[in-house]
Chains A and B, each alone.
Chain A
Amino acid sequence: MRRLHGGRPVTRWLLVATRVALGALFLWAAVTKLPDMKGFAQDVANYRIVPALLVPYVAAAVVGVELLAGLALISGVMAPARSRM
């Protein structure tokens, strides 16, 4: 990992690109769920993992965490210094 995180510009660019792409994936996942949260809650319920009363909260929390994770990855706010631009 020391070699991967080394200071070479190409490696640094690769890290940033990967981080931003992953963030975009999280954001895309959240944004596509937002217009129909009721439908997403139904999807969560269909897995039979969460009690029926908690399903809407878990569905909302999943989308919120995806949004935050996406924004954090894209902005690099919590990223190690070597993977920032």
Chain B
Amino acid sequence: MAGSVLGIAGNAFTPHPAPLGGRVVPAADLPGAACEEPRPGVARISVDAAKPLCLACTAVFVDARSAEEYASGHVTGAVHLAPGEPVEPLLAQLRAAPAVIVYDRDRDCAAADGVAARLQTQGLRDVRVLTGAWPEWLARGGPGESGACGACTVGGR
């Protein structure tokens, strides 16, 4: 108790005090979060910009979450490719698409960044990461479906 009082008192005298009375949310939940920060080599695309590409089938969406998460719901037509899984079975389909959009579960897009970087090393040029990830896609009413990945040929997806 005394420690709490001392800490709150000390907070008042620091140059950068904790905002008492305010809300502090995890950095990954802040609007845009780290995913919108420019990262060398990996382009970003917003949900609003990506939705028309999904509806017009001019981009292939790559789901970088777990197989279970993919099966329970994903962007319509998306293929599943989690970090560490082989990309070869999907390469032909991805190379045929004008653009590839990778998304994951978290707004910081760390998994999507990793998968996008791997796809780029395979020679795919227009690879972008969806800002806001799957939660933002859902919140903004992006088209979705559920079920296992039909296009993926590796077992367990």
Contacts and interface: CB of A to CB of B under 8 A. Distances in A.
A69 interface: yes
Interface of B: 2-11, 14-28
Interface stretch (A1-9, A12-20, A35-43): A35-43
A53 B19 CA distance: 10
Contacts of A46: 26-28
Given A46-B26, A52-B23, A52-B25, A65 B3 contact: yes
Given A55-B23, A61-B3, A64-B8, 4 more contacts: A41-B18, A57-B8, A61-B8, A64-B10
Contacts of A57: 4, 8, 18, 20
- Nearest 10 pairs between A and B by C-beta? A64-B7, A65-B3, A56-B18, A64-B6, A41-B18, A60-B7, A61-B4, A52-B23, A55-B24, A64-B3
Contacts of B19: 38, 41, 56
Chain A interface residue bracket vs B: 20 to 34
A66 B16 CA distance: 19
A60 B18 contact: yes
A38 B16 contact: yes
A25 interface: no
Interface of A: 34-42, 44-48, 52-53, 55-57, 59-69
Contact of A38 (B8, B18, B21): B18
Contacts of B25: 45, 52
A38 B27 CA distance: 12
A67 B18 contact: no
21 contacts: A34-B10, A34-B14, A37-B10, A38-B16, A38-B18, A40-B18, A41-B19, A41-B24, A45-B27, A48-B26, A52-B23, A56-B18, A56-B21, A56-B24, A57-B20, A59-B7, A59-B18, A60-B11, A60-B18, A61-B8, A62-B7
Given A41-B18, A60-B4, A60-B18, A67 B27 contact: no
Contacts of A41: 18-19, 24
Contacts of B27: 42, 45-46
